[in-house]
Structure 1
Amino acid sequence: MSGWRCGIGDCEQGFGDVESLIIHQTTEHEKHECQVCGTLIPDGYFAIRHVFDEHTRAQYVRAYDADSAAVRRREAIQNEIESEADLNAVVDQLDRPTDSAE
């Protein structure tokens, strides 16, 4: 995929690589509360990954009043991101301390 768009709410900010998109979603948007377990997680990719890695598809469908098309769409997003992203680089960048004016 050449170029990535955020898609959270009405945010359509574009990125040249998927890693920048994930970092944007994690740092620039409010956290999402999982409707299955109540965990607060970054919205976007990490929210999709959480719900499908931690819960069953049936739990997702019930909690989010979703249908099979919504499940397939989110699974496709997760698969596409994971096939292209260097998630270790994302984690490394997110773990870096931010510059502070001291």
Structure 2
Amino acid sequence: MSLWTCGVAGCDGRFEDAESAVVHQTNEHERTECKVCGAIVPEGYFAIRHAFDEHSRAEYIRAYNADSAAVRMREGIQEAIEAEADLQRIVEQVDAGGRAESE
């Protein structure tokens, strides 16, 4: 099994599973402002999910001065996390302040 990395700039966090990486991003990093609509969202996966679920690819490209490679990379991250992670478990852990259910 490969380790998951945080992916937020400047963070070297590595995690056993996708859920732990996303919980870490959500609880340990500053929120970021969406450049399309101004919403404040957690950095990392949830920022990517917000951008692509709430806005068109064209809006994302214009607001972030991105290219198609950047879009494909972020879509790949979103797809990988959603294929691997239990999103309900992430929500429960975020609501619990990042503590695993067994703690």
Instruction: State TM-score, norm by structure 1.
Output: 0.92
Shift of 1:20: 0.4
**Which residue of 2 is the match for residue 96 of structure 1?**
96
Matched, 1:48 2:41: no
Give distance in 2, aligned partners of 1:14 and 1:98: 15
C-alpha distance in 1 between matches for 2:7 and 2:96: 25
How many corresponding residue pairs?
A: 99
Which amino acid is 1:58 matched to? Answer: A
Larger Rg: 1
What is the correspondence of 1:1-102 to structure 2 with a 5 Å cutoff? 2-96=2-96
User: RCO greater where, 1 or 2, for CA within 8 Å and sep 6 or more?
Assistant: 2
Q: 1:14 to 1:98 in 2, by over 3 A?
A: closer
Rate the CA distance shift 1:98–1:14 in 2: closer, same or farther, 3 A. closer
Structure 1 residues not aligned, in runs of 5+: none
TM-score, normalised relative to structure 2:
0.91
3-state secondary structure, aligned to 1:36: coil
2: CA distance, partners of 1:84 / 1:25: 16
Structure 1: how far apart are the matches of 2:74 and 2:55?
14
Q: Measure the CA separation in 2 of the matches of 1:98 and 1:16.
A: 15
Question: C-alpha distance in 2, partners of 1:96/1:16?
Answer: 19
1:55-95 CA distance string (max 9 Å, x none): 00000000000000000000000000000000001101112
Identity among equivalent positions (%) equals: 60
- Any idea what the Cα deviations from partners look like across 1:18-47, whole Å, max 9, x if unmatched? 100000000000001000000000000000
Large movers: runs of 4+ above 2 Å: 96-99
